[in-house]
Amino acid sequence: MELTQRQKAIFQAIVEEFIRCAEPIGSKTLMKLLDFNVSSATIRNEMATLEKYGLIEKTHTSSGRVPSRKGYRYYAEHMMISELDESTKAALGTIFNERHMSLDEAVRKTSEILSDLTNLTSIVLGPDESTQTLQNVQLIPISSQSAVAIIVTNTGHIENKVFQFGTDVSSKDLKTCCELMNKELTGTPINKVVDRMEEIKPLMSANLVRSEVLFESFVTAFMRFAEEKVAVSGRSNMLAQPDFNSIEKLRQLMKVLEDGKLFQEWTDQEGNVAIQIGSRNELIQIGDVSVITTRVHYKQEEGQLMVVGPNRMQYSRVIALMDYMSDVLEDVFDDKGGQDDERRNE
């Protein structure tokens, strides 16, 4: 399918105006939008050709046309220009440069920013620690009732956790606990550490005065560490989209967004259409919903940024934001950039 320059201009005008107003686009409206002179009859003929190609379709309520699912894919692949203005880049860069963020904080903040700037729902997945193994544990006392635990994985990921014990724990207990855990748990997959701790619980009881306190603290820490880091923001933004005026459809969508497993099944179901946009973005069409995904690399790990909205989303801005945000995140958590986890948690 090869479009003429005039057909491309008409099709682009239909897509971008429909994204803006959510109303079917007719030939008279197009006459005002195009930057060249052409008759209404000629526009209608070209629209008929675009409809034959499956790029636009007629609605039941108007003589105007709207982009089809295929049309949105063609626009995203061949016609979209995704550029972010410099003022937005500067503002986003400042948010991350002024604070030393943990990975959890960065994931949550990125999700909030994406939903705010797109007026859609954003989902940010951090790396899944369940695929990593424990490399080392350090315990640093703060007071007689608190300590900092530094957990290091085989990929170099570092997680800091402050423990408030609620009772006195001796430095000797902390030292012995640290030595015992490094001896017994090093090389254990993060998602298996809690099970392994249950196995060495008698050993901890035999060697530690405050074994129960230390055991419960570490079990809680590792359970949280092994969970997939996910942040969802802007669910309510779907309420403002005219594309989701069906209460039942909106209820089902909200249910999917609340549950990570349901969301995965939803995006993987048969019948979805997925296309690659550039080297790192993917567009998944699920009925009248689109999901834009962008991969982010954290050292040796991988996460994902996702924006969920109607097929009638502003693709150029959404993808430009996601590209820039993924670059910022990779820069923040790149060892070569000189901002490693230890510095961020000082």
Residues 6+ apart with CB under 8 A from 214: 165, 169, 173, 174, 177, 204, 208
- Provide the whole-model pTM: 0.70
Residue type, 84: L
Domain end marker among 188, 208, 226 = 226
Verify that 234 and 296 share a domain, yes or no. yes
Verify that 234 and 123 share a domain, yes or no. yes
Q: What is the pLDDT of residues 41-62, one digit of tens each?
A: 999 999 999 999 999 998 876 6
pLDDT given for residue 68 in this prediction = 95
Verify that 68 and 124 share a domain, yes or no. no
> Domain count of the chain?
3
Q: What is the pLDDT of residues 103-119, one digit of tens each?
A: 667 778 888 999 999 99
Q: What is the pLDDT of residues 238-250, one digit of tens each?
A: 888 888 777 787 8
Q: Return the CATH number at 45.
A: 1.10.10.10
What is the overall mean pLDDT for the chain? Answer: 84
Verify that 317 and 251 share a domain, yes or no. yes
Verify that 218 and 136 share a domain, yes or no. yes
In the chain the beta strands, taken as DSSP E runs, fall at: 56-58, 65-67, 121-125, 134-143, 146-153, 158-164, 230-233, 273-277, 281-286, 289-298, 301-310
Q: Return the CATH number at 186.
A: 3.30.390.60
pLDDT given for residue 344 in this prediction = 36
Verify that 311 and 271 share a domain, yes or no. yes
Q: Other CB atoms closer than 10 Å to residue 309's CB: what's the count?
A: 24
Q: Note down the domain range covering 117.
A: 86-128+229-344
Verify that 141 and 263 share a domain, yes or no. no
Q: Which residues partner with 307 through β-bridges? A: 122, 292
Q: Return the CATH number at 274.
A: 3.30.450.40
Q: Compute CA 266 distance to the chain's CA centroid, rounded to the nearest angstrom.
A: 16
Four-residue CA torsion sign, 322, 327, 329, 330 = positive
Verify that 238 and 339 share a domain, yes or no. yes
pLDDT given for residue 164 in this prediction = 87
Domain end marker among 183, 202, 226 = 226
Domain end marker among 226, 260, 275 = 226
Verify that 122 and 236 share a domain, yes or no. yes
Verify that 18 and 105 share a domain, yes or no. no
Verify that 195 and 266 share a domain, yes or no. no
Q: Compute CA 21 distance to the chain's CA centroid, rounded to the nearest angstrom.
A: 27
Q: What is the mean pLDDT of residues 174-178?
A: 92
Verify that 244 and 340 share a domain, yes or no. yes
pLDDT given for residue 284 in this prediction = 94
Q: What is the pLDDT of residues 198-248, one digit of tens each?
A: 999 999 999 999 999 999 888 887 776 666 567 789 888 888 888 877 778
